[in-house]
Amino acid sequence: MLIFDVHLDLSLNAIEWNRDLRLSVDELRRQEAGRSDLKGRGCGTVALPDMRRGHMGLCVATQLAGCMKPRGPVACWESPPQAWAMTQAQLAWYRAMEECGEMRQVRDLAELEAQLERWSDPEAAAARGEAIGYVLSLEGADSMITLDYLERAWEQGLRAMGPSHYGVGRYAMGHDVTGGLKPEGRDLLREMDRLGMILDVTHLNDACFWEALEIFEGPVWASHSNCRSLVSDVRQFSDEQIRALIERGSVLGCVFDTWMMVPGWIRGQTQPEEVGVMIEHAVRHIDHICQLAGNARHCGIGSDLDGGFGKEQSPVDLDTIADLQKVGELLRQRGFTTEDVEGVMSGNFIRALRQAWS
């Protein structure tokens, strides 16, 4: 079954973690064995061959470079020009992957339909090494030196953006701090609207979330967020927020970072084996959103499996990203229909793109 993962930090791993993602996960782990310079060294779960093996023919791939205060945990720079420069380095890596046939950028409806046709038989597409399609997204808007840079990024293929990440951003507040949108943030949303960009509300704090939904008139999704009612943390969405997104026709991508999957997790201390966290725990979040919606049309996968961690912060029964195929069987065991399962695995976010780009 085709998988569309709507949140992968591929370029971050390639540039800052110095990983050649054309190699398999097993080979990357061998290369990094014994190293501890960055979190997740030697135990990563994402690489392009493993994405193909898991029939992931389409993803949303990010640029990530902010200058939040206090300094964020990853990809945080001292000035907007530095942050912009890093996004351009990340873009250059995506372009290099296109040139060597590993990836293919998807920027509009025609390119989306062509990519889906290439992957209409996922097993055959994977066997012939078909390029993985990617929609370019920006996680955190701090690198937009001025609003004029947003149109420049659009011309480069940027099609979705989340205004915040961690901390106090230049345009919006991250989930871990208080405060509303800055005046520049309101202007940013209006410019995104004008361009036709998708608003990703992931990482917005509650105040910015509600203000953004009021200002922004275009397509909205949440690329990688789980349910606050199952794991109580401000990083998650409350049932009220989830209902508001459902009313907007939005889709939410389930994230597989274990601290957002099970309660009581202490980051940097708890180990997956200690608490027995499994892929099933992510499926519970998917099911909860389906119960709130009364259908399975508002859930998808936004794994974030390469978001600065590896096996030490992933479900026990997930060795590589290819294991996301297990989600489908777990949904079937819960009574989801084939149509529902296909929607969660790829169809719901594909529908969101078609609507955004029609």
Q: What is the DSSP string of 160-206?
A: EEES--SSB-SSSBBTTS-----HHHHHHHHHHHHHTPEEE-TTB-H
- Looking up residue 99, the CATH number of its domain turns out to be 3.20.20.140
The residue range of the domain holding 12 is 4-357
Q: Residue 339: count other Cβ atoms within 10 Å of its Cβ.
A: 10
Give the tokens for residue 330: 């777990």
| Over residues 207-233, mean pLDDT | 98
**111-155 per-position pLDDT tens digit:** 999 999 999 999 999 999 999 999 999 999 999 999 999 999 999
Task: Using alpha carbons, list the distances in angstroms from residue 134 to 63, 143, 202, 341.
Answer: 12, 21, 19, 22
**Statement: residue 268 has pLDDT above 90:** no
| Model pTM above 0.85 | yes
**288-340 per-position pLDDT tens digit:** 999 999 999 999 999 999 999 999 999 999 999 999 999 999 999 999 999 99
Number of domains in the chain: 1
Task: Using alpha carbons, list the distances in angstroms from residue 146 to 80, 139, 193, 256.
Answer: 9, 16, 16, 34
**3-state secondary structure (DSSP) of residue 105:** strand
Measured between alpha carbons, how far is 82 from 143 in angstroms, rounded to an integer?
8
Measured between alpha carbons, how far is 271 from 268 in angstroms, rounded to an integer?
8
**3-state secondary structure (DSSP) of residue 219:** coil
